[in-house]
Structure 1
Amino acid sequence: MAVHMNVPAAEDPEKRGRKASRQTRQLQLIEATIDSLAKRGYSETTLADVADGAGLSRGIVNFHFESKEKLLVATLQYMADEYANHWQTALEKAGPDAAKGIWALVAADFDRKICTKRKLAAWCAFWGEAKSRPTYQSLCGANDKRYQDTFVALCISLKDQGGYEFDPELSALALCSMMEGLWLRLMMGDGVTRERAHSAAIDYLISVFPRHFNSAGPKERVPVT
């Protein structure tokens, strides 16, 4: 079930109010689902848990989503859209420079809006189910490919600028996998902080692209050897 609802301008105020309320209720239930996934995990989350967490009746959950599966699909779609919008906005703000773009993408992954234990735990709950649920794979597949392709394009630009010897596709894969691993460490709660994880990602950038980055960020001039 779609989370975002576009209301035609010609509709009367009363109808717009009802639709706004519907969207608000759906968002309320999705946030409660994220809370339950983080607290109980995938299999232990029930519609009753979500209703209680949202402070609503179970009938309201059934009215908006009909089943647990539809609610979970809507929740995953919401999280995937939120994540995609977040990194795409960060990339746009960085401008056309490849070094600034990749720096912004790494920073975006550890932003407080996205990188919280609650959301990371919910992501991990979905990851654990993805292999046996093709719907989940297809739902996030296009976003994941766009994200990976963006990193590949940025690595190609940095290689051309800096005269590096690496394979851009392999470097992009390693970078994305490294950040996913840091997310997992954060979710496990073994003492790694969000700031430390971000610093580790920066150190990796410096090691792979030493002509483009230092600890302060992208260099103003890129020496080519």
Structure 2
Amino acid sequence: MKMRVNAAEQDAAEGERKGRKASKETRRQQLIEATIDSLAKRGYSETTLADVADGANLSRGIVNFHFESKEKLLVATLQYMADEYAVHWQAALDRAGPRPADRLWAVVAADFDRRICTKRKLAAWCAFWGEAKSRPTYQALCGARDVKYQETVIALCAELKAEGGYDYAPEPMALSLCAMLEGLWLRLMMGDGTTRETAHEAAIVFIVTAFPNHVSYQGPK
């Protein structure tokens, strides 16, 4: 009987520990989402810990407990957004299979998926980009992921060139493609009337023109 009681107590303690851990993760995520909202609404310099706490419907003490300072909260938010973006495009690439045309189509489409390409997240990215030049921490945080993305696109351009006999160098073509995608995100951030759908259509026009033997307006050939 005593062994059964001890086992029950251990199970209860373990459940409580997991509950505390889940609660901590939930609170952190609430604060990160509230930070994204505040960046989108107020911008970088005007976002305060008080704004984040109010947006998350949590006390300011909770914000200080989890992140200690505004800078640590912002770094955690950027880390979350960078990880989310990297996981998203990598998953799209993996689902596409081995053909380079399918993989290129998937990578481009991933940039305009409604899970990633939203007004609030684009505005938050814009806020961070505006600070990146003067904050090496932000550059270092996203640098490795940017390199991996760039290398992936270069490799795709090289495969497509080998298959299609195109007259371009893979690295400049990859740079052009990435710059085009970044430019469309910037247009979406500026709110000039460009929509997620029209931006995606513009990206398709680019890759159809650049890789006509592999891609049509309807999809990979």
Aligned-pair distance for 1:13?
A: 1.2
Give 1:12 shift: 1.2
Deviation at 1:26, TM superposition (A): 0.1
Quick one: distance in 1 between partners of 2:176 and 2:27?
40
Residue 167 of structure 2 is matched in structure 1 by: 165
| Partner secondary structure for residue 213 of structure 2 | coil
Give the corresponding residue for 1:86: 88
Aligned-residue CA RMSD (Å): 0.7
Q: Distance in 1 between matches of 2:55 and 2:204?
A: 38
Pair member with larger Rg: 2
Scaled by the length of structure 2, what TM-score is found? Answer: 0.94
Q: Which residue of 1 aligns with 2:7?
A: none
- Aligned with 1:133 (options 117, 135, 152): 135
Find the aligned partners of 2:184 and 2:36 in 1 and give their Cα distance. 20
Letter in 2 for 1:135: T
Is there any run of 5+ residues in structure 1 with no aligned partner, and where?
Answer: 1-10, 220-225
Moved over 6 A (4+): none
The answer for the alignment partner of 2:71 in structure 1 is: 69
Percent identical pairs in the alignment equals 74
User: CA shift at 1:72, angstroms?
Assistant: 0.1
1:187 deviates by 1.0
Q: Are residue 34 (structure 1) and residue 64 (structure 2) matched? A: no
Tell me the alpha carbon deviations over residues 126-145 of structure 1, each in whole angstroms, 9 at most, x when there is no partner: 00000100000001111100
What is the match of residue 204 of structure 1?
A: 206
* Paired AA for residue 192 in structure 1: T
Alignment of 1:207-218 (within 5 A): 207-218=209-220
CA distance in 2, matches of 1:201, 1:129: 27
- Matched to 2:214, the amino acid is H
Deviation at 1:27, TM superposition (A): 0.1
**Paired residues, what number?**
209
| CA distance, structure 2, for counterparts of residue 166 and residue 117 of structure 1 | 35
What is the aligned partner in structure 2 of residue 52 from structure 1? 54
State the Cα deviation string for residues 173-223 of structure 1 (Å, max 9, x = none): 11011001100101111111100000000000011111111100111xxxx
Higher helix share: 2
- State the Cα distance separating 1:77 from its structure 2 match: 0.2
SS class of match (1:12): helix
What whole-Å deviation, never above 9, does each CA across 1:80-116 have from its counterpart, x for those lacking one? 0000000000000001110100100000000000000
Question: What is the rounded CA distance, in whole Å, between the counterparts of 1:50 and 1:157 in structure 2?
Answer: 46
